[in-house]
């Protein structure tokens, strides 16, 4: 959810300037999720996530509501009769981007790519490619508009194991991308299961962005939310590393994350952070 809240905040900021921009989603997924379908019935975790936010948001402090507003507006827009659908990253992008902006979406798996096409419908701004997003990324950069946002959001989990290769592929993709286009905004998502693994990955990613891409340390932002104690072998939460975070995103996330954490916590070990590597 932090990923989608942050993404919507980035789009909101990009929309403040009239020049067109491009969104690249390397692992796009199916676009939108049916919360009443069989799949959602089998894994009803959404009830403790977006379900709780949906119920509690009106009573949230003003700064929290401001921070969540761009994302929640998209959620509300597809749920006029109560919470039944959840927007994935491509859907948030499609709803928030303007007439002259462009979306480039990669989804490797055919059934998911078909669902994605269905979810987004006919839209001349959108190009969907059924291919490996890590492999495809260099060809998209730099985008012709010279403005934009890249989301790198691989699955990581296969059954209950965290797929280590995705960490490695992500680092490789980040190095290539920030060398080709150091001005771009990048959002890298990763799970939180093991503190050391996350610290090592973040350290490597941040130094790569700073040293290979020449991105200023204060423009690298780490935002995490974990709902239970980390290190019990279970997925505890997730977070993002943003390169060239647009102005205001850090402040909004600092307002929203403590509230989201209190709302979704499962036990004493829950927590959140919004940091730049320079401040560590």
Ligand X SMILES: C[S@@+](CC[C@H](N)C(=O)[O-])C[C@H]1O[C@@H](n2cnc3c(N)ncnc32)[C@H](O)[C@@H]1O
Residues in touch with ligand X (CB under 6 A)? 25, 27-29, 88-89, 106-109, 112, 132-134, 153-155
Shorter beta-carbon distance to ligand X: residue 108 or 223: 108
Within 13 A of 69's CA, how many CA atoms are on the CB side? 11
* Of 197, 217, 202, the residue nearest 276 (C-alpha): 217
Q: How far is the CB of 145 from ligand X (least distance, A)?
A: 21
Shorter beta-carbon distance to ligand X: residue 134 or 259: 134
Residue with tokens 């290769």, as numbered in its chain: 165
For residue 92, give Cα distances in angstroms to 120, 134, 164, 181: 10, 21, 28, 24
> Catalytic residue at 153?
yes
Residue 237 contacts residue 224 (beta carbons within 8 Å): yes
Q: How far is the CB of 152 from ligand X (least distance, A)?
A: 9
Shorter beta-carbon distance to ligand X: residue 210 or 241: 241
Q: How far is the CB of 279 from ligand X (least distance, A)?
A: 27
Shorter beta-carbon distance to ligand X: residue 31 or 277: 31
Q: Are strands 102-106 and 126-129 parallel, antiparallel or unpaired?
A: parallel
Catalytic residue among 38, 63, 101, 153: 153
Q: How far is the CB of 132 from ligand X (least distance, A)?
A: 4
For residue 135, give Cα distances in angstroms to 108, 111, 244: 11, 20, 22
- Cis before 276 (ω within 30): no
Residue 33 contacts residue 40 (beta carbons within 8 Å): yes
Buried b (16+ CB within 10 A) or exposed e, 183-195: ebbbbbbbbbbee
Task: Tell me the residue nearest to ligand X as measured from the CB.
Answer: 88
Q: How far is the CB of 67 from ligand X (least distance, A)?
A: 18
Shorter beta-carbon distance to ligand X: residue 170 or 245: 170
Q: Catalytic positions, please? A: 153
């Amino acid at each position: 959810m932090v990923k989608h809240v942050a993404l919507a905040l980035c789009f909101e900021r990009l929309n403040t300037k009239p020049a067109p921009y491009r969104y690249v989603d390397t692992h796009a997924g199916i676009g939108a999720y049916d919360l009443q379908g069989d799949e959602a019935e089998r894994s009803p975790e959404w009830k403790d996530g977006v379900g709780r936010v949906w119920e509690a948001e009106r009573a949230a402090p003003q700064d929290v509501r401001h921070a969540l507003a761009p994302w929640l507006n998209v959620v509300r827009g597809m749920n006029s009769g109560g919470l039944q659908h959840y927007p994935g990253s491509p859907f948030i992008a499609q709803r928030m981007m303007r007439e002259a902006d462009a979306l480039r979406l990669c989804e490797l798996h055919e059934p998911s790519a078909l669902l994605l096409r269905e979810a987004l419908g006919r839209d001349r701004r959108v190009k969907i490619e059924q291919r490996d997003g890590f492999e495809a990324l260099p060809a998209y950069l730099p985008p012709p508009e010279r403005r934009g946002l890249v989301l790198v959001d691989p699955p990581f989990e296969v059954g209950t194991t965290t797929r280590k290769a995705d960490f490695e592929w992500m680092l490789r993709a980040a190095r290539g991308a920030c060398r080709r286009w150091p001005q771009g905004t990048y959002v890298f998502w990763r799970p939180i299961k093991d503190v050391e693994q996350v610290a090592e990955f973040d350290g490597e990613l941040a130094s790569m962005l700073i040293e290979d891409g020449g991105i200023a340390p204060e423009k690298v932002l780490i935002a995490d939310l974990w709902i239970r104690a980390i290190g019990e072998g279970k997925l505890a939460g997730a977070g993002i590393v943003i390169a060239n975070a647009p102005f205001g995103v850090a402040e909004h996330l600092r307002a929203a994350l403590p509230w989201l954490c209190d709302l979704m916590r499962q036990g004493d070990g829950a927590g959140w952070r919004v940091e730049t590597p320079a401040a560590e």
